[in-house]
Structure 1
Amino acid sequence: MYTTINEDGILNNYATEPEMYYSEYPTPEQQNRYTFQGAIAGLFVMALVLVALVAS
């Protein structure tokens, strides 16, 4: 942590910045997995909406 002190004696603390890096494009296998997860999430939300409609 980086700390400075001004002329009034007040401390200012600064967090250490993490090292930056570039992200990598997902592989076709990861893209297929994301598509599958999105489909499952969509079905789950649709089921919740249907249950809410039936219960009301």
Structure 2
Amino acid sequence: MSAPSRADIDWIGYGDKTPLAIARTQDADDVVHWLRSQRAKTCGELSSHATR
């Protein structure tokens, strides 16, 4: 039996946004804080890490 897979917290979905970006847009501060505690990133943060 394999370990359960985890959801991709930085998945870029609807509107080309990550869950963190969507939570910020909706002023969902509690969700933003939780996502940050899980090391979630915005598209801009992901692209800046990829170019390093």
TM (norm. structure 1) is 0.20
Larger relative contact order, structure 1 or 2 (CA cutoff 8 Å, min sep 6)? 2
Structure with the larger strand share:
1
TM (norm. structure 2) is 0.20
